[in-house]
Structure formats: C-alpha cells, structure tokens
Amino acid sequence: MRERRALPRAKRESRFSAFALILSLAILVLGSLLVVLLQWSARQVDGMARERDRVTALSVLAQSTAQVDRSIAVGATSRRLRVAINAGRPDTDWLDAYTRRWFSGYAGLDETYLLNGRGDCVYALREGRRAVAPTYIAVEDHADALVALARSRLAAEPASAAKMPARRPPLADIRILRGRPALLVVQPVPGANGGEGRADAGGAFVVGVTFLDGALFDALARNFSLSGMHFQSIPSRTSPETSVPLRARSGTTIGYLAWNAFDPGTRVLSALAPVALVVVLLAASIVYVLASRLVRRTRDLEESRTEAQYQALHDPLTGLANRILFEAQLDQALDRCRDGKASLALLCIDLDRFKQINDTLGHPAGDELIRQVAQRLRAQVRETDIVARMGGDEFAVVINDPQDRAAVEAISTRIVEDLARPFALAGAKAFIGASLGVVLSPQDCVLRTELSRRVDISLYAAKAGGRGRYVFFSSEMDEDIREREGVVQALRVALHEAPEQFRVHYQPIYSSASGMMTAVEALVRWEHPERGLVGPGEFIDQAEESGLIEPLGELVLRQALRDARTWPDLRISVNVSPSQMQEPSFAETVRVLLEEAGVSGHRLELELTETVLMGSSSDVARTIASLRQMGVACALDDFGTGYSSLSHIRDMAVDRIKVDRSFVQAIETPRGAAIVEAIVNLAKVNGLQVTAEGVETEGQMRFLRELGCHELQGFAFSRPIPAGDLEYLVATGAVTATRALARAENGDWAI
C-alpha cells in the first residue's frame, strides 16, 4: 500500500519538477528575448536621438544665419550710412554708434567692415571696438569672392530693378577665419553711389563676420542638451561623440561641429538591465511570485492611500502645496504671530504675460513654464519657508521669521529678477516677468482672510504700477481701492442712466506732403457732474477692469460715426480695446453702426494696441478679416512700446502704424532720431502708412516730413476739440498743417 501511494506522489513530484523546469526554461527564453529586444530598442533610440541632435544643430545654425542676414539687410538701408561710407572723411563717431547698435547689437556680428565703391575698407569694428582698416586684410581673401559675386549680380539686374525695394538679401558663406569657423556675410548698401532706389554694382558693401563658437555653442548646450560642443577638422568616430559637417557655399566641407552624444537608449538599458535580471530570477519561482503579488497589492494599496492624500494637498503640476494646504500652514504660522513668538511675510505672485505664452506656444508650453517658475521660486527661499500654487498663474510664498523688512525686500527683488530671466520653452526663449504683492504680519494683520485681502490689494498696485515689480501694502492703498470703486460705480450709472455725460472730442491729423487735414482721431471725455471734464486717463483703466469698456467703446464709435457725416472728406480713427476685439460679435456691431450712420467703411480706421495682436486668437483674426472685408482699416497704435513689434508688422493685417509720442519727443536726440527713422523705414519696407503722434514743435514736423512720415498729429496743430469746433475749423478753411501750426504758435490751439 505504501509503495502504491509513493508512486503516484513521485509521479506528481516529477510532473511538478518537469513543469517547473519547462516554466523556468520558458522564463529564461523570454528573458533572453527581452534582453535582445531591449538592446535593439536601445540602439534604435540612440540612433534617433543622435539624428535629432544633428537636425537640431543644423536648424539652429540656419536660423542664426537667417537672423543675421535679416538684421544686416535692414541696417544697411540707412540713408546716413550711405553718406558716411562715401564721405571723404567718414564720421567715425557716428559709425561707431551705428555699427555697434545695428550690426554688433541687432545682427550680433563679431566683426564689421565697411567698403567703399573702390573696395577699400573705410571703417572696421572688431569685438565692439573700432579697429584700423588693415584689419580687413585677414578677411579680404575670403570676402572678395562674395563681393565680386554681389557686384556681378547687381550689374546684371535690369533697369526696372530701380523700382524695387532698396533692401537686397545678403550673400553669406561659412569660412575658417583665424582658425575659427565663421559666418561671412556681404551686404550691398542701396544707393551708395547716389542712387536712391537700388544698390549699384560699383557701390559700397557691409562685410560682417560672426564666429560660430563661444556663445552659439553655449546656447546649443544650454537649450538643446548638446554638451561639450566644439569645432574640429575631422568627423567624430568615437562612440561618445557625434558630429555634423559645416559646408561652405561651394559645398566644400570645412570642418565639423562635434558634441557629446546623448544616448537615452543606452542609459535606459543600463538602468533596466539589473531590474530585468531580478525580474527573470523572481519569475522562476512561482511561490515567490504569488507571495510578491500579495505584497505588491498591499503596498500598492498603501501607496494609493498616501498618493490620494498627497494629491488632495498638493498641486499635481508642480508638486507645490495647493490652496488647502497653504491656508492650513498659513493659519499655523499666524497662530505663532498672534502669540508674539514669530513673524512672517506673505508674498502673492502673479505672472505677467502668461496668457501670451499659452496663446502663442500652446498649453503644454504653459504647463512647462509653470513648472519652471515653481523650481525658481523654491530656489529663492529656505526649506522652512512655504511655496504654494494658488491656481492658474498665481503663486504664494510665506517667509517665516524674516530678519527684517530689508530681508523681505531682498527676497522679493531676487524673485522679480529671477522670473524676468528667459525661460526655455518649445525650442524658444520666453520672457514673462512677475508682479508681487507683499504684506507683513503681525505688523499689518494677523487674520488670514484680511491678510489675503491686503496682499491682493498690494499685488493690484504692483500690476497697475507697470508690472515686473513688488509693492508692500500700505493703508493708502485701501483708500485708492475705494476711490477706484467709486469711479467704477459712477461710470456704471453714467453709461446706463446718463450717457450724455460722455463727450467725443476730435484731434485733427494732417498729411505731411500736402499739409491738408486728412483724418481725425475720436477721443472720449467724461463730463462728470461733480469733477467736471475728466480725461480718459482717469477712467479708461477702470472701465477695462470692470467690463464697462465694451458699452463705452460702442457709445464712442456710434457718436464718432454720426459726427463723421458732417466731414465727408475726413477719415475717422477710433480706438478699440482688447476686450472689444475679442468679442465675436464686434465686427457685426461695427457693420450695424456704419449702416445706421450712413458712413462708408472705407472712412473708418480702428486703432488696435499690440496687446490685442499679441493675445490674438482665431476669433480676433476672424474679426480683423471681417472688418477688412467691410473696407475698415486697422492701425497699430503706440507702435514700439509693447512686445514683438516686428512680428506684428509681418504677420498681422494692419494698414498703418502710429509712432508713439514718446519716440517723437526724443527726435532731438541722435538715439531718438535713429529709432524713429528705423520705424519709418520698417513700415515702408512692409508697405504700411505711418502716422506720428505727439508732434509739438516745428522742428519735429520738419524732421518727420523729411523722413517720409505720411501723416502728423499733435498739439503743434490742434488739441482734441469738440465736434462743433472741428466743424468751424473745416468750414473756415483752416485745415492745413501750416495754418494750424501758425495758430498753435500764436497760442490759439484750434479755433
């Protein structure tokens, strides 16, 4: 009986052993296949990563070359530069300032050489300092071929090319200069021998040199993880490095850019290899697998509970404390303040221009920006301090037991400066900045709700003061808030119950060529029953913040179009707020108002700010397209005072730019005159009309007229005046710039 029982048991153990052996062999085979698959995947990933790095390096190099070409082409169009090059004794002081600003500053050239019509170097700038002309000898052998090619192309242009734009694309090549790879650019100077419309074959040239090392390599390493980048004469053949060829214009390879290859596949494989071995060994034991599964389930359950508790108290994007945890920690800190055992500073941080990042680069870039901001905030405070994300682009920081107010000011300054530095997002540099409100406890308050209210007030003051700064709470801010709220309430009542309090005044705009009045700009005034006539600077901001700007803007537009019927020969220019342009029905509102007034859309011009264009969505683009279909023109107001101005000229459908009065007032200075000249030249290159605002003197008028500015506007001709006074001005024939200026000089601004 024992033998019979022992036999089946032996068979069962044998079957179990065979099963275990087969299972073990299967696990070993699968493990081997997994290792082979991981190795193959690692090689594929490494190859793709290296190819991506090569494409990235060549793309950034091409973009840098294109940026240098564009900047040099614009800088070479200066009329005064043409005169300076051909002068018997060049004005070297002016050339110093101009070449440093345009060619070293904007174009980023390391060396700049100016050649006259005979090919002689009349001026040289090297590494930001004026150099002697013979310095050009080291570059001459390489540049002569490009200069000769440029001259031959200019000589071959037909006579009709004189009517073409003056700016010609430069010729560029990559050469080895002084043992370093360099981008060599040759740009003809248009009209250098007297011709105004084109560059001639015997004319002058700008020769620029930008070395392809140093700052470029640092930028590639910093922004694209291409560490250890350097130039070498042969391609990299060792595994740790990869390279791309640098080719001259002729196609000849002059060298290679090499850097330390980033092989993510190999790194991941190295990290996973021990884990894979452990998994194979663990899988060989069924009992251990079952036991480990039970352990994992228990552990996962605990981790899930811990993770759920963590997620409830932390921001999932940044890992910072969320509003719930922050308020609990703040309450604890305030308890110590009430007991007189501690003090704290509460900082409320709001990012400037964050919406622009979301709209232009997308929400993934916005999320990455939020993460980078969180990292920078952590780096600026101590471990004992509290950093939290309150939601959106708003953060809060609690500085526990600061030494004094000066210490809080130092931390606030560091945060503002750190957040003003560029952020690397989606292969580009993004600039935002931040505004900070600061409140102290127990000095200001020990109650959380009141402390939060006061820090919000100080944050509002920081944003209203120009952003990119910090402001400490003061009792006067409460009074300002109450006064602003009073203005908003009075505005609301006036718009709904007494719209006649709002008056539209008009400032004439004159043609610089004919001197005749060509347009008027509509400007709103508020006839307050107690304060008298109130200018827009005292209530427009409150109207925008409170959402009252839309009915107010519609009121102004309606009145301006009604008044426009009296002046059939004048264009009517009306300012439009960002919120109006973002309203999908705005174009239809304009169409209805035009029909009601019986005014053609071609007589209406809407002035948009760069804020509208920077934050433009598909709705704004559709609105602009609809307005243009009606014949309504669009002007870019206060040009140059915002951001990304050049991209707005290039990409947005605007017909006119208005040079801001701050630039016009600086015309008397060489720097100011150069800026205005650059703005007018940029507008002309893009086929846009130019109106200069804030003209107050005859000298300014004469300069702008000689520069080719199309229209002039300002106190030199007339202040903003009521419609009745403008009718008198038109009826009496006093509509020329000359007459208006004469009246202004006599102290009679309008009538």
- Which CATH number characterizes residue 425's domain? 3.30.70.270
Whether 242 shows a pLDDT value over 50: the answer reads: yes
pLDDT-wise least confident of 306-315, 423-432, 609-618? 609-618
Question: Binning pLDDT at 50, 70 and 90, where does residue 120 land?
Answer: confident
Which residue's structure tokens are 């999320």?
367
* Dihedral, 499, 501, 502, 507 alpha carbons, nearest 10: 150
Give the chain's mean pLDDT: 81
Whether 509 shows a pLDDT value over 90: the answer reads: yes
Of the CA atoms within 13 Å of residue 138, those in its CB half-sphere come to 16
Contact 635, 606 (CB under 8 A): yes
Residue 425's DSSP bridge partners are 428
Q: Do 187 and 129 belong to one domain? A: yes
Q: Do 276 and 144 belong to one domain? A: no
Record the tokens describing residue 40, joined without a space: 């193959």
Whether 388 shows a pLDDT value over 90: the answer reads: yes
Please give the residue that has the higher pLDDT: either 342 or 532. 342
* Dihedral, 326, 331, 336, 340 alpha carbons, nearest 10: 120
Please give the residue that has the higher pLDDT: either 509 or 167. 509
Whether 735 shows a pLDDT value over 60: the answer reads: no
C-alpha distances in Å from residue 535, one per residue of 105, 429, 461, 494, 694: 40, 39, 21, 15, 16
C-alpha distances in Å from residue 281, one per residue of 5, 284, 298: 34, 5, 22
Last residue of a domain, one of 240, 273, 306: 306
Is residue 689 one of the residues assigned to a domain?
yes
pLDDT-wise least confident of 120-129, 338-347, 643-652, 664-673? 643-652
User: In sequence order, what are the residues at sequence separation of 6 or more whose Cβ sits closer than 8 angstroms to the Cβ of residue 419?
Assistant: 349, 351, 373, 376, 432, 433, 434
Distance, in Å, from the CA atom of 358 to the CA atom of 117, rounded to the nearest integer, reads 50
Is residue 395 one of the residues assigned to a domain?
yes
Q: Do 254 and 287 belong to one domain? A: no
Q: Do 640 and 571 belong to one domain? A: yes
Single-letter code of the amino acid located at 433: G
pLDDT at 3: 41
pLDDT at 160: 58
Q: Do 105 and 200 belong to one domain? A: yes
Q: Do 548 and 441 belong to one domain? A: no
Q: Calculate mean pLDDT across residues 408-415.
A: 94
Contact 441, 353 (CB under 8 A): no
C-alpha distances in Å from residue 215, one per residue of 256, 512, 607: 17, 45, 40
Record the tokens describing residue 431, joined without a space: 């600039």
Single-letter code of the amino acid located at 23: L
Q: Do 295 and 386 belong to one domain? A: no
Distance, in Å, from the CA atom of 198 to the CA atom of 168, rounded to the nearest integer, reads 8
Whether 643 shows a pLDDT value over 80: the answer reads: no
pLDDT at 319: 92
Is residue 488 one of the residues assigned to a domain?
no
Whether 725 shows a pLDDT value over 60: the answer reads: yes
Distance, in Å, from the CA atom of 11 to the CA atom of 9, rounded to the nearest integer, reads 5
Contact 623, 586 (CB under 8 A): yes
Residue whose C-alpha is closest to residue 81's, from 66, 101, 67: 101
Which residue's structure tokens are 């032996």?
10
Single-letter code of the amino acid located at 751: I
Element (H, E) at 205: strand 205-211
Is residue 739 one of the residues assigned to a domain?
yes
C-alpha distances in Å from residue 35, one per residue of 215, 276, 279: 42, 8, 12
Q: Do 537 and 447 belong to one domain? A: no
Contact 734, 740 (CB under 8 A): yes
Q: Do 356 and 461 belong to one domain? A: yes
Is residue 751 one of the residues assigned to a domain?
no
Whether 266 shows a pLDDT value over 90: the answer reads: no
Question: Binning pLDDT at 50, 70 and 90, where does residue 291 land?
Answer: very low
Q: Do 617 and 648 belong to one domain? A: yes
Please give the residue that has the higher pLDDT: either 219 or 176. 176
pLDDT at 750: 41
Distance, in Å, from the CA atom of 715 to the CA atom of 665, rounded to the nearest integer, reads 12
Question: Binning pLDDT at 50, 70 and 90, where does residue 1 land?
Answer: very low
pLDDT at 344: 93
Is residue 206 one of the residues assigned to a domain?
yes
Q: Classify burial at 291, counting beta carbons within 10 Å of its beta carbon; exposed 0-12, middle 13-18, buried 19 or more.
A: exposed
pLDDT-wise least confident of 86-90, 377-381, 473-477, 586-590? 86-90
Is residue 492 one of the residues assigned to a domain?
no
The C-alpha R_g of the chain, in whole angstroms, comes to 35
Q: What is the 3-state secondary structure (H, E, C) of 494-528?
A: HHHHCHHHEEEEEEEEEECCCCEEEEEEEEEEEEE
**pTM for this one?**
0.47
Distance, in Å, from the CA atom of 352 to the CA atom of 464, rounded to the nearest integer, reads 12
Q: Calculate mean pLDDT across residues 158-173.
A: 63
Q: Calculate mean pLDDT across residues 707-726.
A: 89
Q: Do 547 and 449 belong to one domain? A: no
Residue 509's DSSP bridge partners are 519
Question: Binning pLDDT at 50, 70 and 90, where does residue 292 land?
Answer: low
Where would I find the beta strands (DSSP E) of 358-501?
386-391, 394-400, 423-425, 428-430, 434-441, 470-472
Residue whose C-alpha is closest to residue 496's, from 441, 551, 454: 551
Q: What is the pLDDT of residues 50-88, one digit of tens each?
A: 777 778 777 777 777 777 778 888 888 888 888 888 777
Report the CATH number at residue 91: 3.30.450.20
Where would I find the beta strands (DSSP E) of 618-741?
633-639, 656-659, 689-692, 711-712, 721-722
Report the CATH number at residue 584: 3.20.20.450
Q: How far apart are the first and last CA of the chain?
A: 133
Report the relative pairing of strands 571-575 and 604-608 from DSSP bridges. parallel
Question: Binning pLDDT at 50, 70 and 90, where does residue 259 land?
Answer: confident
Q: What is the 3-state secondary structure (H, E, C) of 236-265?
A: CCCCCEEEEEEECCCCCEEEEEEEECCCHH
Contact 428, 361 (CB under 8 A): yes
Is residue 669 one of the residues assigned to a domain?
yes
Please give the residue that has the higher pLDDT: either 391 or 646. 391
23 three-class SS: helix
Question: Binning pLDDT at 50, 70 and 90, where does residue 324 land?
Answer: very high
pLDDT at 743: 54
pLDDT at 283: 67
Rounded to 5°, angle at Cα 721 from 716 and 723: 140
Report the relative pairing of strands 604-608 and 386-391 from DSSP bridges. unpaired
Whether 680 shows a pLDDT value over 60: the answer reads: yes
Q: Calculate mean pLDDT across residues 656-673.
A: 88
Contact 435, 349 (CB under 8 A): yes
Distance, in Å, from the CA atom of 381 to the CA atom of 398, rounded to the nearest integer, reads 9
Record the tokens describing residue 739, joined without a space: 């007459």
Last residue of a domain, one of 279, 306, 333: 306
Contact 448, 334 (CB under 8 A): yes
User: In sequence order, what are the residues at sequence separation of 6 or more whose Cβ sits closer than 8 angstroms to the Cβ of residue 231?
Assistant: 180, 181, 212, 213, 246, 255, 256, 257, 258
Contact 264, 46 (CB under 8 A): yes
Q: Structural domain of residue 277, as residue ranges?
A: 17-63+265-306
pLDDT at 225: 67
pLDDT at 15: 57
Percentage of the chain lying above the pLDDT 90 cut: 22
Residue 174's DSSP bridge partners are 183
Residue count of the chain:
751
Single-letter code of the amino acid located at 102: W
Q: Do 123 and 227 belong to one domain? A: no
Contact 552, 524 (CB under 8 A): yes
Number of domains in the chain: 5
